[in-house]
Amino acid sequence: MFNTAAFIYQKIHNVNTGENHSAKHVILMPTGFHQCRWGYHNLSVVEDVVENYKKAQIPLDVIWNDDDHMDGHKDFTLNLVNYPRPKLLAFLEKIHSIGMKYIVIIDPGIGVNSSYGVYQRGIANDVFIKYEGEPYLAQVWPGAVNFPDFLNPKTVDWWGDEVRRFHELVPVDGLWIDMNEASNFCSGLCKIPKGKQCPSGTGPGWVCCLDCKNITKTRWDDPPYKINASGLQVPIGYKTIATSAVHYNGVLEYDAHSLYGFSQAIATHKALQGLEGKRPFILSRSTYVGSGKYAAHWTGDNKGTWEDLKYSISTMINFGIFGVPMVGSDICGFYPAPTEELCNRWIEVGAFYPFSRDHANFYSPRQELYQWDSVAESARNALGMRYKILPYLYTLSYEAHTTGAPIARPLFFSFPDYTECYGLSTQFLLGSSLMISPVLEQGKSQVKALFPPGSWYNLFDMTQAITSEGGQYVTLDAPLHVVNVHLHQNTILPMQQGGMISKEARMTPFALVVTFPAGASDGKAAGKLFLDDDELPEMKLASGSATYVDFYATVSQGTVKLWSEVQESKFALDKGWKISKVAVLGLGRSGAPSALEFDGKPVTAASNIELTSLEQKYLEDLQVGSEKKSSVMVEVNGLEIPVGKNFAMSWKMGISG
């Protein structure tokens, strides 16, 4: 028999780890939590949001502005009334001093306005897409706009200069490039209407007010086949750039349409990296093959519905496979207003998206995570765990950077021979071994989760374990503030103590969680850790700017061993990072742990190191044949092991065979 599913898995795995060169060199930002909203009308609102997250003790790394900071929705401008520059700069200095970031939106459409410097310089440099020799006219938020042609090298230079000018005005930490499919509120060939204001300033801003007519005279605008765009039988250029418009060197929009957002991401990446030589952060709505090298992605204006919460998992997994590992959906939904229960459950999923951001519509009620006491509790719980596993998430980012592997993965990536998980899209893995099993239905306080073969340990309570001999569904308790997160056997997970900001969390002591098959007398486990300052242009081991550590553990013949192998130790040693705790799960026992040694030397009673054990509990009885086995979690506390230095530790333990 030919196993088609296993073959498909192997091809996907090869693409994402060995062959997906388009996704390599992913440029990422610290993987903390982000807050945004379309409708933060003035700076004081933004300041209040940051302060309220602090009061609620909910972690927050990045605060965003949609177009509220702009002057008349125009790119690279600042509304000096609602966002007075001196006060904005003082605010940014304050949040930058504690490690927070600030990101704003820009759209590709440049407002047609003779007094607007960005537009004037664009015309002078001839950077816009053409139709019959003139800049193609469209409509987006500022009203009439022209679209930059990012295939033109002159446009890339002009765009970089505009980014530089704006950064001098407002020292942003990244850019959000939206509406870059490109989106157009009109269709066809348009002109600015005479005798009326467009847009009028009243009513929805997305209603076309230009004078337009369809273009049907070329086969590019009216091809012999039809598409059903947005479920509408409309011309191929509907609500976008006309497909017979012309890019640099005569390239038709018909041939370049899918590259628009990609080419803008490349130009924006070049511009940001050229400012201070730091690692850029770009979020793009439109993507193409290779976009993951330059930008993160969110899944657009997803709805605040249970259906879209569930769908967010499959879209996240798909984009990881497509080579865009930094991906997530609008937590709690962009629109309409989410229910309190839905927002509780969404942060329990969204806290584990690679890109984790709450974002809402102008017309929706406020939905920051502190708006409901119950959601704040769920956020502290779920995001609290995210900030503890930041070392693991960041190491997965490095793996994505070097190999193209996704951060969030379907279960079959780690269990290709377990066919039951092939169609599963209600659970997901972070990396190879951390499984999230969320509640995705209204009114539920339990979740039926699939556990592939092996031993799984509850990350929130490591004394709780599940053994799945050949793979099985297990019904888990999941009250409103609980999300089930389990760690698979044979893993070493690096963790820290968490914090309200990732910069703060990154300086706390490390812990290593080691998982063996439950009750095993022999076993192996491994893990890895990548550390750098998260600002260098590229994630790489060189010149003391980063450290990489491989961790290994074994249990055999009554002895537990744990050791590390460090590459480029200087960076971690200079930072002073220490491992203060080790927890080893799944050990069988017939006696207490003893005879602890560190680097070959016995640890004496005079040291501050403590060796303790706790019995583990199982949802399913652990037994082989008729013999029930017990297992324990052994903790070693009081350690001060430099992360940047090779170490080896061991202890004796009675292990039943």
Asked if pLDDT for residue 5 goes beyond 60, the answer is: no
- Of all helices (H) and strands (E), which one includes residue 551? strand 546-556
The pLDDT of residue 590 is: 64
* Residue 355 near residue 285, CB atoms below 8 Å: no
The verdict on 535 and 640 lying in the same domain is: yes
pLDDT > 90 in the chain, percent = 83
Q: Is residue 481 part of a domain?
A: yes
pLDDT bin (cut points 50, 70, 90) of residue 3 is very low
| 37/64 Cα distance (integer angstroms) | 7
Residues 523 and 475 in one domain: no
Does a structural domain hold residue 214? no
Residue 227's pLDDT band (cuts 50, 70, 90): confident
CA distances from residue 25 to 324, 328, 456, 539 in whole angstroms, order as listed: 11, 19, 32, 8
**Pair 544, 571: CB distance under 8 Å:** yes
Do 467 and 566 belong together in one domain? no
Burial class (CB in 10 A: 0-12, 13-18, 19+), 530: buried
Residue at which a domain ends, from 488, 517, 549:
488
**Torsion sign over Cα 329, 42, 336, 73:** negative
Q: Length of the chain in residues, anyone?
A: 657
Residue 23 or residue 491, greater confidence = 491
CA distance linking residue 586 with residue 655, whole number of Å: 11
Across 233-254, average pLDDT = 95
Radius of gyration of the chain (CA): 27
In a domain, 522, yes or no: yes
Q: Evaluate whether residue 409 is within a structural domain.
A: yes
pLDDT grade for 19, boundaries at 50, 70 and 90: very low
Residues 456, 564, single domain; the answer is no
Task: Report if residue 609 sits inside a domain.
Answer: yes
Asked whether residue 574 is domain-assigned, the answer is: yes
On whether both 515 and 475 belong to a single domain, the answer is no
The C-alpha atoms of residue 144 and residue 540 are separated, in whole angstroms, by: 44
Final residue of a domain: which of 488, 523, 546? Answer: 488
Q: Among residues 66, 68, 173, 181, which one is catalytic? A: 181
Host domain of residue 457:
403-488
Instruction: Tell me the C-alpha distance between 146 and 154, whole Å.
Output: 16
- In one-letter notation, the amino acid at residue 539 is M
Distances in Å between the Cα of 618 and the Cα atoms of 132, 238, 483, 518 are 72, 58, 18, 10
- What pLDDT, on the 0 to 100 scale, is given for residue 231? 84
In a domain, 359, yes or no: no
Same domain, yes or no: 463 and 425: yes
Q: Does pLDDT of 332 surpass 70?
A: yes
pLDDT at 448 over 50: yes
- Using DSSP, state whether 176 is helix, strand or coil: strand
Q: Tell me the CA end-to-end span of the chain in Å, nearest whole number.
A: 38
Q: Which pLDDT does position 195 carry in this prediction? A: 87
Residue with tokens 């820290």: 496
State whether 436 and 553 are in the same domain: no
Q: Are 111 and 199 in contact (CB under 8 A)?
A: no
Residue 625 has pLDDT above 50, yes or no: no
The whole-angstrom separation of Cα 15 and Cα 23 is 10
Q: pLDDT grade, residue 467 (50/70/90)?
A: very high
- pLDDT of 405-447, one tens digit each? 999 999 999 999 999 999 999 999 999 999 999 999 999 999 9
Question: Please, which pLDDT band fits residue 623 given cuts at 50, 70 and 90?
Answer: very low
- Do residues 478 and 548 share a domain? no
b vs e for 105-122, b when ≥16 Cβ sit within 10 Å of the residue's Cβ? Answer: bbbbbbbbbeebebbeeb
Please tell me whether residues 553 and 458 are part of one structural domain.
Answer: no
Residue 12 banded pLDDT, cuts 50, 70, 90: low
Same domain membership, residue 518 and residue 442: no
Residue 477: active-site member: no
CA angle 441, 446, 452 (to 5 degrees): 100
Percent of the chain with pLDDT over 70: 93
Tokens of 510: 């490390």
Is the domain of 514 the same as that of 616?
yes
- CA dihedral over 276, 278, 284, 290, signed as positive or negative: positive
Distance from chain centroid for Cα 297: 8
Per-residue burial over 20-42, b if 16 or more Cβ lie within 10 Å, else e, is: bebbbbbbbbbbbbbbbbbebee
- pLDDT tens for each residue of 141-176: 999 999 999 999 999 999 999 999 999 999 999 999
Q: Are 647 and 513 within one domain?
A: yes
Q: What is the mean pLDDT of residues 352-373?
A: 96
| Mean of per-residue pLDDT scores for the chain | 92
pLDDT of residue 30: 54
Element at 121 (helix H, strand E): helix 117-125
Task: Tell me the mean pLDDT in the region 561-576.
Answer: 97
At 309, is the secondary structure helix, strand, or coil?
Answer: helix
Question: Given 301, 340, 341, 420, which residue is catalytic?
Answer: 301
- Residue 656, both tokens: 């039943």
Render pLDDT for 65-101 as a digit per residue (tens, 0 to 9).
999 999 999 999 999 999 999 999 999 999 999 999 9
What DSSP element (H or E) covers 559? strand 559-567
Tens-place pLDDT, residues 474-530: 999 999 999 999 999 999 999 999 999 999 999 999 999 999 999 888 999 999 999
pLDDT computed for residue 225 by the predictor: 84
Catalytic residue among 162, 178, 568, 635: 178
| pLDDT tops 80 at residue 457 | yes
pLDDT at 53: 98
Q: How many domains does the chain have?
A: 2
**CA geometry: angle 438, 303, 478, nearest 5 deg:** 15
Predicted confidence band of residue 24 (pLDDT cuts 50, 70, 90): low
Confidence (pLDDT) at 229: 73
Q: Among 23-32, 102-111, 588-597, which is the least confidently predicted range?
A: 23-32
CA distance 260 to 99: 33
Q: Which long-range contacts (CB under 8 A, 24 or more apart) does 527-530 make?
A: 527/491, 527/492, 527/493, 527/494, 527/551, 528/395, 529/391, 529/395, 529/494, 529/643, 530/394, 530/395, 530/397, 530/398, 530/399
Residue 235 has pLDDT above 70, yes or no: yes
Residue 140's beta-bridge partner residues?
A: 143
**Residue 364 domain-assigned?**
no
Amino acid found at 354: P
- Residue 626, pLDDT score: 43
For 302-316, what is each residue's pLDDT tens digit? 999 999 999 999 999
Reply yes or no: is the peptide bond before residue 199 cis, omega within 30 of 0.
yes
Q: What is the model's pLDDT at position 428?
A: 98
Of 269, 104, 128, the residue nearest 176 (C-alpha): 104
pLDDT level of residue 263 (50, 70, 90 thresholds): very high
542-558: buried (b, 16+ CB within 10 Å) or exposed (e) per residue?
A: eeebbbbbebbbbbeeb
Active site residue 126: no
Structure tokens at 156: 């890339």
Residue 367 above 70 pLDDT?
A: yes
How far apart CA 9 and CA 15 sit, in angstroms, is 10
The pLDDT tens digits of the residues spanning 25-75 come to 455 555 899 999 999 999 999 999 999 999 999 999 999 999 999 999 999
In the block, tokens 């974002």 appear at 359
Res 204: pLDDT = 78
d(CA 563, CA 579): 12
Q: How many CA atoms lie within 13 A of 509 on its CB side?
A: 13
What's the CATH number where 438 sits?
Answer: 2.60.40.1180
Query: Among this protein's residues, is 534 annotated catalytic?
Result: no
Q: What is the structure's pLDDT at 20?
A: 55
Can you give the pLDDT at residue 588? 87
Omega before 416 within 30 of 0, i.e. cis: no
> Residue 650: CB partners within 8 Å, gap ≥ 6?
559, 560, 561, 562, 596, 597
